Structure 1
Amino acid sequence: MGRIDPHSFTESSEPATRHIGLALYLDFPSSTIVGSALFTLDTPHTGPFSLDTRGLTIHSVLSPETQTPIPFSLSAAHPISGSQLSLTLSNHTSFLISYTTSPSSSALQWLLPPQTLAKSHPFVYTQCHPIHARSVFPCQDTPAVRIRYSALLNIPSHLSAVMAARHLHRRQPREGDLPSAASWCSPGRVVEEFLMDQPVPPYLFAFAVGGLGNRKVGPRTRLYAEDVPALLDSAAAEFAGTEEMIREGESLFGPYEWERFDLLVLPPSFPYAGMENPRMVFLTPTVVKGDATGTHVVAHELAHSWTGNLITNKTNEHFWLNEGFTTYAERRIVEAVQGEQRATLNIGIGWRGLNEDVERFKDNLEFTKLKNNQEGIDPDDVYSRVPYEKGFQFLWRIERQVGRPSFDEFLKKYIATFKFKSIDTETFIDFLKANIPGIENQVDLVLWTEGTGIPPDAYEPDSSSYKMIVSLANEFINGRMPREDEVADWQGQEWELYLDNLPKSIEASQVIALDSRYKLSESKDYAVKVSFLQRAISCGCRDYYNEVEKTLKEVGMRRYLRLLYTALVKGSGKEDDKVFAKRIFSEARECYHPIAQGVVEAIFAKHL
Structure 2
Amino acid sequence: MAPIDPHSFTDSTHPLTTHVSLSLYLSFPTSTIHASALLTLSSPFSGTLSLDSRSLSLSSILDPQTLHPLPHSLSPTPDPIRGTEISVVLSGQSQILLIYSTSPAASALQWLSPPQTFSKTHPYVYTQCQAIHARSIFPCQDTPARRIRYDVVMNIPASLSAVMSARHVRRRLPLPEEATHLDSSLCWCAEDRVVEEFVMEQPIPPYLFAFAVGELGFREVGPRTRVYAESADVEVLDAAEVEFAGTEEMIRQGEKLFGEYDWERFDLLVLPPSFPYGGMENPRMVFLTPTVIKGDASGGQVVAHELAHSWTGNLITNVNNEHFWLNEGFTTYAERRIVEVVQGADIATLNMGIGWRGLKDEMERFKDNLECTKLKNNQQGVDPDDVYSQVPYEKGFQFVLRIERQVGRTAFDEFLKKYIATFKFKSIDTDTFLDFLKANIPGIEKEINLELWTEGVGIPEDAYEPVSTIYTKIISLAEEFKQGKMPSEDEVAEWKGQEWELYLENLPKSCEPSQVIALDKRYRLAESKDYEVKVSFLQVAISSKCREYHGEVEKTLKTVGRMKYLRPLFNALAQSGGTEEKQLAKQVFAEARETYHPIAQGVVESILSKYI
| TM-score, normalising length: structure 2 | 0.99
Post-superposition Cα deviations, 1:97-133, rounded to whole Å, max 9, x if no partner, equal 0000000000000001111223221110000000000
Gaps of 5+ in 2: none
Which of 271, 276, 279 is residue 271 of structure 1 equivalent to? 276
Contact 1:25-1:181 at 8 Å conserved across structures: no
1:181 to 183, 193, 210: 183
Q: Is the 8 A contact 1:146 1:201 kept in 2?
A: yes
Aligned with residue 209 of structure 1, among 206, 213, 221: 213
Match of 1:280 in 2: 285
> Which amino acid in structure 1 is aligned with residue 290 of structure 2?
P
Give matches, 1:136-215, under 5 Å. Answer: 136-179=137-180, 180-182=182-184, 183=186, 184-215=188-219
Match of 1:474 in 2: 479
The answer to whether the Cα contact below 8 Å between 2:308 and 2:335 also exists between their aligned partners in 1 is yes
2:240 to 235, 240, 254: 235
1:504 lines up with 2:509 in the alignment: yes
Structure 1 position 25 matched with structure 2 position 25: yes
| Residues matched between the structures, number | 607
Structure-2 separation of matches of 1:537 and 1:549: 12
What CA RMSD, in Å, does the superposition of the two structures yield over aligned residues?
Answer: 0.7
Q: Deviations over 1:437-464 (max 9, x none)?
A: 0000001000000000000000100111
CA–CA separation in structure 2 for the residues paired with 1:369 and 1:496: 26
User: SS in structure 2 opposite 1:153?
Assistant: strand
Output the CA distance in 2 between the equivalents of 1:33 and 1:186. 17
Kindly provide the amino acid, as one letter, of the partner of residue 294 in structure 1: G
Instruction: Confirm or deny: 8 A CA contact 1:344 1:466 kept in the other structure.
Output: yes
Q: CA deviation at 1:575?
A: 0.9
- AA partner of residue 591 (structure 2): E
Alignment map for 1:106-505 (pairs within 5 Å):
106-179=107-180, 180-182=182-184, 183=186, 184-227=188-231, 228-505=233-510
> Hey, what's the Cα distance between the residues in 2 that align with 1:171 and 1:163?
16
Partner of 1:73: 73
Q: Please report how far the alpha carbon of residue 485 of structure 1 lies from its aligned counterpart in structure 2 after TM superposition.
A: 1.1
* TM-aligned CA deviation for residue 177 of structure 1: 2.1
Residue of structure 2 in register with 1:600 after alignment: 604
Alignment-derived partner of residue 62 in structure 1:
62
Report how far residue 215 of structure 1 moved. 0.2
Deviations 1:234-265 (A, max 9, x none): 01100000000000000000000000000000
Amino acid in the other structure paired with 2:282: N
Counterpart of 1:48, as a letter, is T
**Distance in 2 (alpha carbons) for counterparts of 1:39 and 1:504:** 52
Cα distance in 1 between the residues matched to 2:471 and 2:93: 60
Contact persistence 2:15–2:43 (CA under 8 A): yes
Tell me how far 1:585 sits from its aligned partner: 0.5
Shift of 1:368: 0.3
Post-superposition offset of 1:376: 0.3
In the alignment, the residues of structure 1 paired with residue 214 and residue 290 of structure 2 have an alpha-carbon distance, to the nearest angstrom, of 16
Aligned to 2:10: 10
Deviates more, 1:497-506 or 1:205-214: 497-506
Instruction: Give the superposition deviation at 1:587.
Output: 0.4
**Contact 2:510 2:540 (C-alpha < 8 Å) held by counterparts:** no
Q: How far apart, CA to CA, are the structure 1 residues paired with 2:510 and 2:82?
A: 42
| Aligned counterpart in structure 2 of residue 517 of structure 1, from 504, 517, 522 | 522
> Quick check: 1:35–1:178 contact (8 Å CA) kept in 2?
no
Q: Give the equivalent residue in structure 1 for 2:97.
A: 96
Find the aligned partners of 1:457 and 1:442 in 2 and give their Cα distance: 11
CA distance in structure 2 between the aligned counterparts of 1:55 and 1:497, rounded to whole angstroms: 42
The 5-angstrom pairing of residues 494-573 of structure 1 reads: 494-570=499-575, 572-573=576-577
Distance of 2:298 and 2:548 partners within structure 1: 29
State the 1:158 CA deviation: 0.1
Q: Deviations over 1:341-373 (max 9, x none)?
A: 000000000000000011100001001000000
Q: Which moved more, 1:103-112 or 1:179-188?
A: 179-188
Three-state SS of the structure 2 residue aligned to 1:478 is coil
Is there any run of 5+ residues in structure 1 with no aligned partner, and where? Answer: none
Specify the code of the residue in structure 1 equivalent to 2:164. M
Shift of the alpha carbon at 1:505? 3.6
Q: Deviations over 1:265-310 (max 9, x none)?
A: 0000000000000000000000000001111100000000000000
Structure-2 separation of matches of 1:215 and 1:555: 24
2:274, 2:596 within 8 Å by CA — same for their partners in 1?
Answer: yes
Partner deviation per Cα, 1:301-354 (whole Å, 9 max, x = no partner)? 000000000000000000000000000000000001000000000000000000
Q: For each residue in 1:178-226, what CA deviation from the matched residue of structure 2 results, as whole angstroms up to 9, or x when unmatched?
A: 4213222223110100000100000000000001110001001000001
CA contact (8 A) 2:114 2:121 kept: yes
Provide the C-alpha distance between the structure 1 equivalents of 2:557 and 2:386, rounded to a whole number of angstroms.
20
Over 3 Å counting, the alpha-carbon distance change for 1:589 and 1:505 in structure 2 is closer
Give structure 1 regions of 4+ aligned residues with deviation exceeding 3 angstroms: none
1:584 pairs, out of 581, 584, 588, with 588
CA contact (8 A) 1:106 1:595 kept: yes
Normalising by structure 1, we get a TM-score of: 0.99
Letter in 2 for 1:31: S
CA distance in 1, matches of 2:183, 2:260: 42
> Does structure 2 conserve the Cα–Cα contact (< 8 Å) formed by 1:26 and 1:153?
yes
Q: Secondary structure at the match of 2:410?
A: helix
User: Does the Cα contact within 8 Å between 1:311 and 1:419 map onto a contact in 2?
Assistant: yes
Write the distance in 1 (CA, Å) between the matches of 2:504 and 2:337: 25
Residue 183 of structure 2 aligns with an amino acid whose one-letter code is A
1:562, distance to aligned residue in structure 2 (A):
0.6
- Give 1:175 shift: 2.0
Amino acid in the other structure paired with 1:54: R
Which secondary structure does the structure 2 equivalent of 1:177 belong to?
A: helix
Distance in 2 between residues matched to 1:117 and 1:406, nearest whole Å: 50
Calculate percent identity across the aligned residue pairs.
Answer: 69
Contact residue 10 and residue 52 of structure 1 kept, 8 A:
yes
SS of equivalent residue, structure 1 residue 176: helix
